[in-house]
């Protein structure tokens, strides 16, 4: 960096010094662009994490039960991560422990919505009353 400023101050002196100064300037600019890209990527990741709010259902009388994973487990995993906010490891554990309760305490309409969304991946989803789901 110091050489770049010295060469700029002295008028480069030769074409070789001019080439070195231009190369250093390009390297500095590329480094700054890379750093800016990393900062923007980090900000986007933080914003996405804040948008993923897991709904808190505690007022309903129904549970959503995953009975079978179905033919498309990757799609089901994506939906569980997107809708419930599970990590990929947690979604894998839930899928391996089927039949299991995925969502507790929803009303009938929300249960049907979960059934539709998760059932789109080919999984078998049941909406059961809470008393019957106690294990």
Q: How far apart are CA 45 and CA 43, in angstroms?
A: 5
Work out how many domains the chain is built from and give that number.
2
What pLDDT, on the 0 to 100 scale, is given for residue 35?
96
- Cβ atoms 73, 124 nearer than 8 A: no
> Which one, of 61, 62, 78, 60, lies nearest residue 118 by Cα?
78
What pLDDT, on the 0 to 100 scale, is given for residue 54?
46
Token output for 104: 């507790």
What pLDDT, on the 0 to 100 scale, is given for residue 122?
85
Give the pLDDT means over successive 10-residue stretches in the chain (135 positions): 70 69 88 95 79 58 86 86 80 84 84 85 86 52
What pLDDT, on the 0 to 100 scale, is given for residue 34?
96
What pLDDT, on the 0 to 100 scale, is given for residue 51?
56
Where helices occur in 11-66 by DSSP H, the ranges are: 15-51
Range of the domain at 32: 2-51
DSSP code for 55? P
Judgement on whether residues 84 and 129 belong to the same structural domain of the protein: yes
What is this structure's pTM?
0.52
Judgement on whether residues 18 and 42 belong to the same structural domain of the protein: yes
What pLDDT, on the 0 to 100 scale, is given for residue 9?
66
Q: How far apart are CA 75 and CA 80, in angstroms?
A: 9
Judgement on whether residues 81 and 124 belong to the same structural domain of the protein: yes
In a domain, 57, yes or no: no
Judgement on whether residues 36 and 66 belong to the same structural domain of the protein: no
Judgement on whether residues 38 and 68 belong to the same structural domain of the protein: no
> Which single residue is written with the structure tokens 């001019």?
18
Judgement on whether residues 30 and 89 belong to the same structural domain of the protein: no
Judgement on whether residues 47 and 71 belong to the same structural domain of the protein: no
């Amino acid at each position: 960096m110091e050489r770049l400023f010295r060469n700029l101050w002295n008028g480069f002196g030769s074409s070789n010094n001019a080439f070195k100064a231009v190369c250093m300037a390009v390297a500095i600019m590329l480094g700054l662009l890379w750093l800016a890209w990393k900062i923007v990527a980090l900000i986007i990741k933080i914003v996405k994490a804040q948008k993923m709010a897991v709904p808190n259902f505690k007022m309903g009388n129904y549970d959503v039960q995953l009975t079978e994973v179905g033919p498309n487990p990757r799609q089901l995993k994506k939906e569980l991560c997107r809708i419930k906010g599970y990590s990929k490891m947690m979604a894998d554990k839930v899928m391996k422990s089927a039949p299991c309760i995925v969502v507790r305490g929803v009303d009938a309409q929300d249960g049907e919505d979960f059934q539709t969304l998760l059932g789109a991946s080919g999984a078998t989803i049941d909406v059961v009353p809470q008393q019957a789901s106690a294990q």
